[in-house]
Amino acid sequence: MRFSDITGLSDVKEKLINSVKNDHVAHAQLFLGKAGSPNLPMALAYAAYLNCEQPGESDACGNCPACVKNHKSIHPDVHFVFPVSPTKNITGKDVISTNFLKTWREFLTSSPFGKLEQWAAHYGGEDKQANISKEESRQIIKNLSLKAFEGRYKVMIIWLPEYMHPSSANGILKILEEPPERTIFLLVSNDAEKLLATILSRTQIITIPGFSDDELVTILTEKHEVPKEQAQRFAHLADGDLTLALRLVNNVEDDNHQWFAAWMRDCFKRDFTSMVQKSDTFHGMNKVAQKSLLAYGTNMMREALIRQMAPELVRVNGQENQFIENFSKVIDEEKVRAITPLLNEAQFHLERNASARITFLDLSLQISRIIK
């Protein structure tokens, strides 16, 4: 990955490049951007530039041995840590990033802008809660205790550090604050609020915005050959999220709308029998699907509120648009403010392995009291 592979964001690129040119590279940086933003690609491009043997004014050369290895994600001085969970073949203390590297490299090649649910599906871990374990912190310290093999810098890229187990996060505090010479931590996060304050305070934050509508249109038309009119529509709906834009382009089916709309109808009608049945159904979903449904619900709450206050800014179409039009008639700002924290709290409980059946049923009962 090089800076030229990322459309737009010239200010961010310039800031990162100048830090290398001026030898003012912060030893711990947090690339902060929402899911679907180019924060991971930007970190990869920065890592490539840091160790490029013939860096240009605005990008890594792309041809030197270091760049070739970075392109394949096999540079010996660039290390990766990311959320994983047990699979059929990898269990116990073996559930660390090192044992998923081959699959991770495939994922970076096919989906560099991908999200956690796509990564989990890629390695086959949808049924378990992915995290970064305490064992991982020991591996980080071990890897960074070695001298650099080839590069100017040793780079540790931690994708989604908000999924670090507290013991893992605490385990890297010392090395994060006082790393070995020429060692750079690049933390790539979607949610700084979920990071330990002690981690956050040790990093320099680099804000990575989502793509603008115009940038998404450029990507879709030039790299994916989407007609401009369609690209403009998809870009508006995606709201800066390239992953979502590509799903729209490929017409990928998403069950979240059908499930959420039916669920809210049950809550509004106070159909308790159906609420119980849906709680059982949601319990049977894998972990990724459960959290995806709740995240989708949070977004729909936001869109319903926007429909009331500034309908021209709504970013949904088709069945979703019809649902939002009807839903906004029974929901208001006060109700949205009451329900949204409940959806977020349910995600929190699921991440800590609470019973999905009980979590969804309790959530259903609370929502039914609010929206009626």
Instruction: Give CA–CA dist 48/17, Å, rounded.
Output: 11
User: Are 219 and 266 within one domain?
Assistant: no
Give me the pLDDT at residue 181, please: 87
Give me the pLDDT at residue 254, please: 60
User: Are 134 and 183 within one domain?
Assistant: yes
Beta strands in the chain (DSSP E): 28-32, 78-81, 154-159, 183-189, 204-207
User: Are 133 and 7 within one domain?
Assistant: yes
Instruction: Give CA–CA dist 48/50, Å, rounded.
Output: 5
Instruction: Give CA–CA dist 230/233, Å, rounded.
Output: 5
Give me the pLDDT at residue 244, please: 78
User: Are 232 and 202 within one domain?
Assistant: no
User: Are 202 and 229 within one domain?
Assistant: no
* Total length of the chain: 372
Give me the pLDDT at residue 251, please: 62
The whole domain housing 297 covers: 256-371
Beta bridge partners of 326: none
CATH number of residue 269's parent domain: 1.20.272
User: Are 63 and 131 within one domain?
Assistant: yes
User: Are 41 and 126 within one domain?
Assistant: yes
Low-confidence ranges of the chain (pLDDT < 70): 251-254, 315-318
User: Are 49 and 135 within one domain?
Assistant: yes
Give me the pLDDT at residue 82, please: 96
Boundary (domain end) residue, out of 207, 239, 269? 207
Give me the pLDDT at residue 367, please: 94
User: Are 222 and 265 within one domain?
Assistant: no
Give me the pLDDT at residue 317, please: 66
Beta strands in 297-366 (DSSP E): none
Contact by Cβ (8 Å): 85, 120: yes
- 154-159 β-sheet, strand order: 78-81, 154-159, 183-189, 28-32, 204-207
**Count of domains observed in the chain:** 3
User: Are 151 and 284 within one domain?
Assistant: no
SS3 per residue for 113-162: CCCHHHHHHHHCCCCCCCEECHHHHHHHHHHHCCCCCCCCCEEEEEECHH
Instruction: Give CA–CA dist 352/360, Å, rounded.
Output: 14
Packed helices 39-51 and 10-21: angle between N→C axes, nearest 10 degrees: 30
User: Are 299 and 346 within one domain?
Assistant: yes
User: Are 238 and 267 within one domain?
Assistant: no
Give me the pLDDT at residue 91, please: 85
